[in-house]
């Protein structure tokens, strides 16, 4: 009896081990934040995704969108006159004064580096006349220019509003897009900056502890923090090494410590687990007797242990990592070329048939003519 019991205990341990191994393969990281994504900044491949499509409150990560919108739709050399509404905006500020004149670029710096809510309102009013019009315009801009799918902003700074929401994936899209702009990239990676205003002279220091170096992680290139009670702690971070560039977004962490720990895990995972490879121009992929190809060389992000490539019926090349589609690329369909040789042979054959027909007709007329001529001669 004891042998039977021992056998079942061993069997249960084996099965338990197999289940845990499977879970570990499909959940490579233990992330505490409600939502988190890790994205290759260059290829857009999603390398890790936990609730990436869940609508959540971004808090001050909103300012990433406001910054790139202002850079692309305004003139950074413009001088902005601060309004009374901007001066009175609640939360973190750079202590602007109504009537103060500040260059737009300086407001963007104060908004991103010191998370100035007042600077964000001054930017919105300068660009679009009011916060309300700004909200309408930026939502259209984010959808049409960047391609977000589930984002709606009501203000430029992320102060809580039930209708002010986004997703981790959308924020990664916005950050990746913004990072392509050198003006944004420089400000996003600034650790400290001298500030001189009518009511405040100081050294602005980034609030992002990884960027600041308080938490030592190699390769950090930029970052933005966020917090309101309803959103809890949010964090956007970019990092790179010689192999890959990464964007990490974490939303709704219970503590600042959790948001940084999660971000550290994501970045380490990206650096150690992924690499780039190239699909060459005109490489052929076949499905249902149709051939597809990329028009140009395409960089894809693969797991160091290998990723799978498959093609859909619509000619979309999918890179699959850990059972999830990490990257999708639309290929071109290869149209079958007309076979000229066969056409020429066909034409030649047709000509031969026509010539034979003409020959028969001529021969028949000749025979008829000779027959008639003989009859006439006999007469």
Displacement of CA 16 from its chain's centroid (Å): 37
Q: Name residues whose C-beta falls within 8 Å of residue 119's C-beta, 6 or more positions apart in sequence.
A: 86, 93, 94, 96, 102, 107, 108, 110, 111
Nearest CA to 174 out of 221, 152, 142, 222 is that of: 142
**Do the Cβ atoms of 34 and 251 come closer than 8 Å?**
yes
**Do the Cβ atoms of 58 and 101 come closer than 8 Å?**
no
**Do the Cβ atoms of 285 and 331 come closer than 8 Å?**
yes
Nearest CA to 250 out of 167, 322, 174 is that of: 167
Choice among 63, 106, 245, 261 that is catalytic: 63
Choice among 33, 41, 83, 115 that is catalytic: 115
DSSP alpha helices (H): ranges in 27-130? 62-73, 84-87, 104-113, 117-128
Nearest CA to 244 out of 265, 274, 264, 221 is that of: 274
- Decide if 60 is catalytic: yes
- Decide if 328 is catalytic: no
Nearest CA to 178 out of 203, 141, 215, 209 is that of: 141
Choice among 33, 41, 50, 60 that is catalytic: 60
Question: Cα separations (Å) of 32 from 22, 257, 268, 336?
Answer: 20, 10, 16, 52
How many Å apart are CA 38 and CA 41, to the nearest integer? 9
- Decide if 277 is catalytic: no
How many Å apart are CA 349 and CA 338, to the nearest integer? 18
For the annotated catalytic residues, the residue numbers are: 60, 63, 115
């Amino acid at each position: 009896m004891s042998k039977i019991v021992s056998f079942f205990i061993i069997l249960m341990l084996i099965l338990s081990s197999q289940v845990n191994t499977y879970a570990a393969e499909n959940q490579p990281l233990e992330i505490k934040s409600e939502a988190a994504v890790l994205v290759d900044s260059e290829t857009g491949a999603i390398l890790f995704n936990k609730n990436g499509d869940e609508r959540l409150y971004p808090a001050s990560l909103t300012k990433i969108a406001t910054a790139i919108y202002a850079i692309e739709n305004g003139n950074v050399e413009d001088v902005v006159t601060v309004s009374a509404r901007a001066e009175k905006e609640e939360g973190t500020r750079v202590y602007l004064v109504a009537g103060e004149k500040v260059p737009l670029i300086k407001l963007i710096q104060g908004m991103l580096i010191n998370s100035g809510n007042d600077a964000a309102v001054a930017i919105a009013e300068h660009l679009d006349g009011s916060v309300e019009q700004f909200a309408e315009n930026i939502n259209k801009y984010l959808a049409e220019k960047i391609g977000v799918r589930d984002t709606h902003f009501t203000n430029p700074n992320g102060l809580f509003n039930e209708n002010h929401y986004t997703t981790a994936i959308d924020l990664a899209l916005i950050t990746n897009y913004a990072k392509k702009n050198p003006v944004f990239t420089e400000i996003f990676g600034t650790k400290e900056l001298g500030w001189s205003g009518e009511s405040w002279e100081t050294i602005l220091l980034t609030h992002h502890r990884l960027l600041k170096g308080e938490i030592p992680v190699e390769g950090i290139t930029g970052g933005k923090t966020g917090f309101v009670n309803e959103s809890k702690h949010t964090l956007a971070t970019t990092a790179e090494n010689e192999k890959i560039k990464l964007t990490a977004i974490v939303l709704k962490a219970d503590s600042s410590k959790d948001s940084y720990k999660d971000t550290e895990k994501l970045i380490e995972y990206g650096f150690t687990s992924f690499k780039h490879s190239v699909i060459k121009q005109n490489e052929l992929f076949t499905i249902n007797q149709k051939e597809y190809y990329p028009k140009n060389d395409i960089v894809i992000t693969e797991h160091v242990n290998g990723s799978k490539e498959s093609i859909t019926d619509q000619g979309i090349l999918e890179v699959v990592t850990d059972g999830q589609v990490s990257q999708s690329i639309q290929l071109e369909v290869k149209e079958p070329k007309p076979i000229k040789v066969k056409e020429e042979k066909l034409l030649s054959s047709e000509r031969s048939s026509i010539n034979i027909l003409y020959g028969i007709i001529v021969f028949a007329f000749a025979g008829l003519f000779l027959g008639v001529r003989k009859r006439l001669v006999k007469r």
